[in-house]
């Protein structure tokens, strides 16, 4: 079998095949908004692609003091894998969990050194924002062993682990956050309020650490607590994010707003 680098080389060196293939993909995607879609519309009109549109815009535009503002030389990635502080210590480890999928990440990092989507924070990083995107779903529940250990707690623990692995103290970070993007109607109903808050996250990670009977205490005190103290944690509505984009770029804002409307309509 050809490895990935050989395939990429063929793709980059060919003049016509990539253009033809991408044109076909573009045509198929366009069908999603027509009367005869070629695949379920939700494969395109969903929170994942909505988030990518938002991140792509913020990557090239600056809104001062906005939570999603990019630091200098920061980049973004979708569907990154974040290392957990509770990975398996041995085969059959009953306390273990796998790497965590992040819908989006903004900051100074490398992707794919150990796997295709694994994320590694740069040793000189100044920014790390982990984003979860929702439209009609809630945050996922806990892992097999710890049913209380929800998606918000897992993401924040992974942020601390990334800093730990990079030996990057949270005090040296300029921008550090965990944000959930969701419809304003869900946020106002309090769908996420019990889990996207600092007290809940602290309690759940602390309980998870206690199950290791002292083995994770040093990590908790030296890395998790300082990270948790500095971390900005909040829910952002799609509506307020799109409104902010419209103020700076009315055309792009209107386009993303229409895409969001399709997500709401087809997602139901």
130: left (phi over 0), alpha (psi -120 to 50) or beta: beta
Q: 48 lies in a domain?
A: yes
- For residue 267, report the phi and psi dihedrals to the nearest 5 degrees: -65, -25
Indicate the pLDDT class of residue 80, thresholds 50, 70 and 90.
very high
Residues 64 and 180 in one domain: yes
CA 105 to chain centre: 5
In this model, does residue 1 exceed pLDDT 50? no
Residues 157 and 246 in one domain: yes
Domain holding 22, by residue range, is: 1-31
Q: What is the pLDDT of residues 158-216, one digit of tens each?
A: 999 999 999 999 999 999 999 999 999 999 999 998 999 999 999 999 999 999 999 99
Q: Check whether residue 14 and residue 100 sit in a common domain.
A: no
Q: Based on the domain organization, do 109 and 182 belong to the same domain?
A: yes
Give yes or no: residues 160 and 90 share one domain.
Answer: yes
89 lies in the same domain as 212:
yes
| 196 occurs within a structural domain | yes
Q: Which residue has the higher pLDDT, 158 or 11?
A: 158
Outline where DSSP puts E strands in 154-237. Answer: 175-182, 232-237
pLDDT computed for residue 134 by the predictor: 93
* Residue 37 counted as domain residue: no
Q: Which residues pair with 78 in a beta bridge?
A: 104
Confidence bin at 73 (pLDDT 50/70/90): very high
Largest CA distance in the chain: 60
Total-model pTM: 0.90
Interval 109-144: pLDDT, tens: 999 877 689 999 999 999 999 999 999 877 766 666
On the question of pLDDT at 11 being above 60, the answer is: no
- Cα separations (Å) of 138 from 21, 33, 111, 193? 36, 26, 27, 11
In this prediction, residue 8 carries a pLDDT of 58
Residue 96 has pLDDT above 80, yes or no: yes
Question: Across the chain, where does the E strand assignment appear?
Answer: 75-82, 100-107, 109-111, 119-121, 127-133, 175-182, 232-237
Question: How many domains is the chain partitioned into structurally?
Answer: 2
| pLDDT class of 97 with cuts at 50, 70, 90 | confident
6 and 80, same domain (yes or no)? no
- Condensed to tens digits (0 to 9), the pLDDT of residues 223-259 reads 999 999 999 999 999 999 999 999 999 999 999 999 9
**What pLDDT is recorded for position 17?**
59
Average pLDDT over residues 5-31: 72
User: Do residues 149 and 23 share a domain?
Assistant: no
Task: Establish if 58 belongs to a structural domain.
Answer: yes
pLDDT in tens, 20-72: 788 888 888 888 878 888 888 888 899 999 999 999 999 999 898 999 999 99
With respect to residue 36, please indicate whether it lies within any of the assigned structural domains.
no
> Which two three-digit tokens encode residue 109?
């990092």
Which pLDDT band holds residue 145 (cuts at 50, 70, 90)?
Answer: low
Residues 214/220/225/227 CA torsion (nearest 10 deg) = 180
pLDDT at 5: 60
- Nearest partner of 103 among 66, 139, 136, 77, judged by Cα: 77
Residue 164 within a domain: yes
Residues 119 and 17 in one domain: no
Query: How high is the pLDDT of residue 46?
Result: 92
So what's the pLDDT on residue 162?
A: 98
Q: Is 259 within the bounds of a domain? A: yes
Q: Are residues 2 and 92 in the same domain?
A: no
**Residues present in the chain in total:** 268
157 and 27 housed in the same domain: no
Closest CA to 259 of 56, 18, 11, 45: 45
Q: Write out the two tokens for 83.
A: 């290392």
- Residue-level pLDDT at 10: 61
For residues 181 and 149, membership in a common domain is answered with yes
* Domain-located, residue 23: yes
């Amino acid at each position: 079998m050809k490895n990935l680098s050989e395939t990429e080389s063929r793709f980059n060196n060919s003049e016509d095949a990539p253009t033809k293939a991408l044109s076909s993909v573009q045509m198929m995607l366009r069908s999603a908004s027509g009367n005869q879609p070629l695949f379920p519309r939700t494969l395109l009109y969903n929170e994942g692609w909505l988030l990518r549109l938002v991140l792509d815009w913020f990557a090239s535009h600056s809104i001062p003091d906005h939570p999603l503002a990019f630091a200098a030389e920061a980049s973004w990635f979708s569907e990154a894998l974040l290392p957990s502080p509770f990975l398996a210590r041995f085969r059959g480890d009953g306390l273990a969990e796998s790497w965590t999928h992040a819908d989006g990440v903004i900051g100074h990092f490398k992707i794919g050194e150990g796997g295709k989507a694994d994320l590694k924070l740069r040793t000189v990083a100044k920014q790390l924002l982990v984003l979860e995107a929702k439209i009609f779903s809630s945050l996922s529940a806990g892992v097999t062993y710890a049913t209380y250990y929800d998606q918000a707690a897992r993401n924040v623990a992974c942020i601390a682990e990334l800093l730990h692995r990079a030996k990057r103290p949270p005090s040296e970070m300029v921008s550090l956050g965990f944000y959930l993007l969701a419809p304003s109607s869900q946020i106002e109903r309090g769908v996420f309020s019990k889990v996207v808050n600092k007290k809940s996250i602290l309690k759940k990670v602390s309980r998870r650490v206690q199950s290791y009977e002292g083995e994770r205490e040093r990590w908790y005190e030296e890395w998790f607590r300082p990270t948790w103290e500095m971390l900005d944690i909040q829910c952002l509505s799609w509506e307020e994010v799109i409104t902010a984009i419209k103020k700076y770029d009315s055309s792009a804002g209107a386009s993303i707003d229409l895409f969001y409307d399709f997500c709401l309509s087809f997602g139901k």
